[in-house]
Structures are given as structure tokens and as C-alpha cells.
Chain A
Amino acid sequence: MGKLIVNYSPHILHTDTTQGIMLDVIIALVPVSAFGIALFGPYVAAVIAVCIVAAVLSEYLFCKIAKQPNTISNLSAVVTGLLLALNLPPTFPLWMAAIGSAFAIIVVKQMFGGIGQNFANPAITARIMLTVSFPEAMTAWREPFAWLNKTADTVTTATPLSGGDFTPMRLILGQHGGCIGETCAIAIIIGGIYLLIRKVINPIIPFTYIATVGILAVAFGENPFIWIFTGGLLIGAFFMATDYVTSPTTRKGQLVFALGCGIITALIRKFGSYPEGVSFSILLMNILVPHINSLTKNKPFAWEKANHGKKN
């Protein structure tokens, strides 16, 4: 008889893997990407492709140079690249997009130890880096469907958050200016529902985040509809704030985290000099996650009666 395999129990595992989860996120982002391309033209496809390729290539090269096991097969770099692309304006220069992707992967993720170790969401942080570095390119909004009309190619428009008159229907269908993946609420919600059904995310973070922003909009005398359906809130709440690595692990912690995101977003939108606050609020709350985690620990079952730590 040959050598038997010996390992600790359990000896069966659930079929979900890291790769499978990442694939689910990519699938959930397909409608958003498709709408982005439809609204803003084929150039958007190039932005998405460049972001993904740059992200995967950065991770591959970093692992190679740092002599680490290669991790690109877990697809997390694809997710980061795709999310970053969806957070860029439709006319964004490709070389800037590539820099953003490389920054997200190398500086924000790999330098902190790779997947699972980064304290901030790579796509969010890269978006903020690009906003600060290339403010003009990052605010070059475009009228939807302008690409179909060659003469209007240079038309720029404002996001509804900077003011303007928008009907609810236009907002939901994404017929307004904004980042590639931010405008079409319906597509984002479809992706979010897919993630909820697949149990990749739980509803606490997105629902708390969106509800907090909505309630504060009313409190501040703003139109909650515009606050919820424009800007990066929906995509941020469903796809960025729910990033496992940079959000708390307990339900209590997730509630605190999402409340914090909502409050900071609303404050920036109302009082800040930027029209948008989703990226900053998620990044700020990312930084607080270790503290939230240690303050929202679960109590073990039957903990109250236990005299833990005294004997044994």
C-alpha cells in the first residue's frame, strides 16, 4: 500500500473559490461595461481593455520581479482594472488609464503583500490618484450618444451633481454625463442583484450606504433621487465598498462601515469643494477598517457566562 494522504479535517470543501468569486464580480460588471460602451462609444472599450491589460501585466511583472508565486489566475487584477476603467471619464487618455491601473496594482496592492493584504481598495485609490494628478482629464464628461453624431464629438457636459435639470427616467437609464460605469443605474443594479443572488456580497453594505446618503440628502434639502442615481454612489456601494479585503468581516462592522461611507459622502457632496465624495468616503472608511474590526468583534456563543482567561 502506498502512502496515504494525511491532512487535517475537513476533507470536503465548498466549490466556491477566490477565482470563482472574482469571476462572478466580472460577470456582474458586464452589463455596466456594455452600457458604458453603448452610451459613450467604442473608445470606451479601449479604455476598459487598457486598464485590464495594464493591471494584469503589472501584477504579472511584479510577481516575476519580486520572485513571488504568480497570482494573476485568481482574476482579482482583472476586477481591479475593470473597476478602475468604469470609474474613468469616457474620453480618458489611454496612457493615463494605464498609469492608474499600474498604480492600483503595484503601489496599492502588491506593495502591501498582494491579494488580501491591501488596506485600501486599489481601484478607488487609483481613481483618487488620477483625480488629483490629472484633474482636467478626470472631469471631461461627455454627452451620452454624442459619439453617434460626429459633429458633436467635442461636446462636454456636467454631471448632474454639479447642477442641472434631469428627469428621473434619464437618470435611471444613464442618459447624463458621468464616468463610464457610473451613469446607468439599471445596469449597476442588475449587477448588484446578481452578486446578492450569488451570495458574493451581502446586502448590509450597499443598502445601508445608499439609504444613509438618501436620508441625508433629504435632511440637507437636496434631491435624494439625484444623489442616489448619479455620481459614483451605486457602483461604489455595490462594487467598491463591498470589497472583502477592505471592508469589515462582521455584520456589525459592515453596518458601521457603510454608515460611515454614507455620512462622509453626503458631507462631501453638500459641503466639500468636489461635487463627488464616494471615492474619498470609501477610502477614508477603508483606513478605519482595522479599528472597526477590533471594536465590532463577535461574542462567542455562550460567552456571557464564561469566566474566560482566568483559569485552565
Chain B
Amino acid sequence: MSAPDNILRPVRKNTGKLRLVHHKNTAESETVKMPAPSKVVIPMLQHIGRPCSPIVKPGDRVAVGTKIGDSSEPNSVPVHSSVSGTVSKITTIRHSNGNTCEAVVIESDGLMTEDIFLSPVKVETAEDLVNAARESGLVGLGGAGFPTHSKLDIPKGKAVDTLIINGAECEPYITSDYRECMEHPEDILQGTNLVKSVLNIKRAIIAIEDNKPKAIKYLKQVSYELHLDKEIEIMKLDSRYPQGAEKVLIYSVTGRKLPINQLPSDIGCLVMNISTVSNLYRYIKTGMPLVSRRITVEGDCINKPMNVEVPIGALIRDVAEFCGGYKSEPGKILMGGPMMGVAQISDEAPVIKQNNAILILSIEAGTLPPATPCIRCGRCVEICPVYLMPVAIETAMRNPDREKLLSLGANYCIECGCCAYVCPARRPLVQVMRQAKERSIKS
């Protein structure tokens, strides 16, 4: 029996207009589990919010899933050991995003013994779900790292009627979420259904870009087999960057506009990444918190591009080693995709929860041409998915004035990179936009 093919279409045209070459070369590369590296460096801050404090000390024995950092702050997410072994030191490291933070270094014993206290979790009420999400250590796995439990903790008086599962994966090269669809469709669907029913949300929509037709078809098929096709709708999005950006996605899926300084729950939406919801379900099923994640390792300078399940805290160097090593001296290493990824200063940075890709680029591929004078062609204005005028904001930044920048909406920028991508003068517009954004927010 085949599944009915009632696939939803977006209710509004994508405000993102950029056509990118997708380079989803690793789409059919099945996830390979990376064995425990000799050491992992687990940062205490892997989410948006307050950092955790280590609750272990050097010399302590830990197992896979043992909690090693926590905080009493409401918007922080505990961190867990991703290997079994001994805590060797607690140190300050440079994070992949450039900031410094505390980290627990664990020497692995190579056994990957699981913590014996882990057990399946019972979730019946909304409170159970929020607690479970917090204990699972989950953050938004799409890249932002927003604490999942804060998202699920919908304040009283706010009615959420639409759960959007973000499977857009609009950045080139990355296939991590796609592999989640192909390898764990049940977890995605059961997790989505659980969140929907426990939080009493009317609709649940899994939204996927149309460059992944197999994933759309497969999820539809499995939802039919699990008798969840009445509960969960599946939407085929246009493959235009940045379709997966929260504001853009909500608008495409529901037609609602997310105002600045507001959360999706203010306009009745809850948006979760497809891998987040899947991992949440696995935590509830097994009790194993988020200790590893799938990463797409790609680029012209890595020997074996592939999808790898990496223990959180593994160093980029070790992950690259597992993928056959560098082809030649790498010129640039990115955490994330080519449009929004962060260039690393070395390959010593650890993988954190929200990393979905590591790109290893050669010097040629990593070197951008120098900026030339702006010719005011207006392509940045045409392409901006939130309708800003980067050309005007860049001019305003010559003599920055907060009121002027606010009147141009500089604080609305989502840093998607479309403007800089299309700029024929190769101007580093995202950098300028980000400075303008900071200037306009801070007085």
C-alpha cells in the first residue's frame, strides 16, 4: 500500500530569493559512527544563555551520558560527557564562535561505557516534557543553539496552534538533517507527534525543501505506516536560500510575520529543528542525553567527505583524521555551511551541540577576492529576505548614528549572507551589517 501524496505547499512565497548550487554531495553517505577520540573537550556553554559550571573535578570517572556541567539559571542547558574516561582538567578554551569559555577535558578510556543511571523517561504533561528537554541537554541543532526546553516552555496565555519542524536545510553542502530523515524517520515523526499531543498543538507541519524529494516521500510513507499521517502534515518548501531561517520559514509555512524582539510563540508558532525533535524522542525512549551528533564533513580539502556521528567535544582535527585526513594544508576551516559558517582559527576547536557541518577548504577555495568600490547596483536590496537596504546601511555606517541605523532597520538583519553573496563588488556586507546591528541595538 502506498501513502497518499497530499504534500502541502507554502501559503506564502519565500521571501528568500537566492538560488544556490546545493552541493549536497554527501546526501547518500550513510552516517558512520566515529570511535571515541583519545580526549574530548566539552565546553560549558553550548547554547544561547548562561554558561554551566562544571560539576566534576579532575580525576573523576565519568561515563557516556554522565552530567558534567549544570546551572541553576533558567535559560541554561546541562552538558554531559560524550565518552567514558577520566576528567583530566578544567580549562578555558576558545570556542568555535570565537568567544572563550570554560571546558571540561576528558581522557577517554575507549570503552564508551554508558552511565548506568540512564533510563527511559515518562512524559505525560507539558511540565514533564519541558523537564525532559532540559535534562536531555538539547539545544536547537540547526545552528542557533536556542535551549529546547525554553522553547517548549510556552508561557501561560500564549496559544500555540502550529508546530513547525524545520527540515529545510538550505545551506549548501550540509546533509545532516537529510540523513536524519532517511535514517530515523520514526523518531522524527514520533517526537513531533509527542510534542504536538503533550502541548496540545492543533497542527504539526514538517517542512522540507524540494531539493530533498526522497526525504519528503519517505517521511510521508513512514507517517502513513505509523498512522500519524492524520496528525502530521508534510510541506514541500521552495529551495531558495535562506528558506530555513526562522522568520522566513514561519512566513512561508503560515503566512505570519514574526516581528522583531518577539518569539515565535507570540504569533502562535513553535519551530523546532528536525534533528532536535528526533533526538528529543530518542532521549525519552532511552534516557541517553545528547552526547553525539551527526556532522557533514565536506570541502575540497578533506579526503573522505561524509556524514559522521561525532561525540560532542571531539576536536575538529580528530574528526578530520577520521575522515581520511586533509588532502593538503587546509586554507580555511568552517564550522557550519558556507553561507553562515564561522571560520576557525585552528583545528583545535571542539565540536559542539549545534554544529551541523565542518567544511575543510583549500587555500584557493577559502580565499575571497578583495573588495572593490560599491557601484550601487542594488542587488543587495533586491535579494535581502527581510527587505533591508544593505547599500544604505553600509553608507550610514561611515558616520554611524543609532537613530539613522534604526530607521533603516539595521537591527532586523538575520545575517544570512545573501547581500554579500550577490555583491559584484565583493564587499564584506555581513560584517558591516553585523556592526550596524550592534550599533543600533546598543546605544
Contacts and interface: CB of A to CB of B under 8 A. Distances in A.
A6 B443 CA distance: 29
B361 interface: yes
Given A9-B417, A306-B261, A298 B381 contact: yes
A4 B424 contact: no
Interface string A58-87: 000000000000010010100000000000
B32 to A, nearest CB: 24
A10 B417 contact: yes
Given A74-B372, A244-B375, A300-B412, A9 B430 contact: yes
Nearest to B380: A249
A10 B338 contact: yes
Dominant secondary structure at the B interface? loop
B15 to A, nearest CB: 6
Nearest to A76: B375
Interface residues of A, number: 45
Contacts of A74: 372
Interface string A94-135: 000000000000000000001111000000000000000000
Contact of A12 (B329, B421, B442, B443): B421
Of the listed residues A12, A17, A115, A293, the one surrounded by the most CB atoms of chain B closer than 10 A to its CB is A12
Contacts of A11: 332, 334, 338-339, 341, 343, 359, 361, 366, 368
A251 B359 CA distance: 37
A12 B338 contact: yes
Given A12-B172, A116-B376, A249 B389 contact: yes
B41 to A, nearest CB: 17
A167 interface: no
Given A18-B425, A245-B375, A249-B378, A13 B387 contact: no
A1 B347 contact: yes
A10 B339 contact: yes
A305 interface: yes
A18 B412 contact: no
A150 interface: no
A8 interface: yes
B407 interface: yes
A9 B340 CA distance: 5
B13 to A, nearest CB: 13
A302 B408 contact: no
Interface stretch (B116-124, B133-141, B252-260): B252-260
B144 interface: no
Interface residues of B, number: 72
Interface in B218-265: 247, 251, 257-261
Given A12-B339, A17-B424, A250-B381, A4 B331 contact: yes
A250 B342 CA distance: 31
A308 B411 contact: yes
A197 interface: no
A249 B391 contact: yes
Interface string B352-372: 000000010101001111001
A163 interface: no
A312 B426 contact: no
**Chain A contact residues: over half helix, strand or loop, or mixed?**
loop
B421 A5 contact: no
Interface in A283-312: 293, 297-303, 305-309, 311-312
A4 B343 contact: yes
Given A18-B375, A297-B408, A308-B260, A1 B332 contact: no
B392 A297 contact: yes
A2 interface: yes
A272 B180 CA distance: 71
B346 A250 contact: no
A21 interface: yes
A115, A298, A299, A307: which has the most chain B beta carbons within 10 Å? Answer: A298
A293 B391 CA distance: 11
Interface in A250-297: 250, 293, 297
Given A114-B373, A309-B407, A301 B338 contact: no
Contact of A5 (B363, B406, B407): B363
A139 B276 CA distance: 73
B374 interface: yes
B330 interface: yes
Contact of B412 (A71, A297, A301): A301
A2 B381 CA distance: 38
A306 B422 contact: no
Given A10-B417, A244-B376, A312 B441 contact: yes
Contact of B258 (A5, A13, A250, A302): A302
Contacts of A307: 261
A298 B381 CA distance: 9
Shortest 5 CB-CB contacts between residues of A and residues of B: A300-B409, A10-B417, A249-B378, A302-B257, A301-B386
26 contacts: A1-B346, A4-B331, A5-B331, A8-B431, A8-B434, A9-B430, A11-B332, A12-B172, A14-B423, A16-B424, A17-B425, A18-B372, A116-B374, A244-B376, A245-B375, A245-B376, A250-B381, A297-B392, A299-B409, A300-B388, A301-B386, A303-B412, A306-B261, A308-B407, A309-B407, A312-B442
Given A11-B361, A306-B261, 4 more contacts: A1-B346, A4-B332, A10-B420, A301-B385
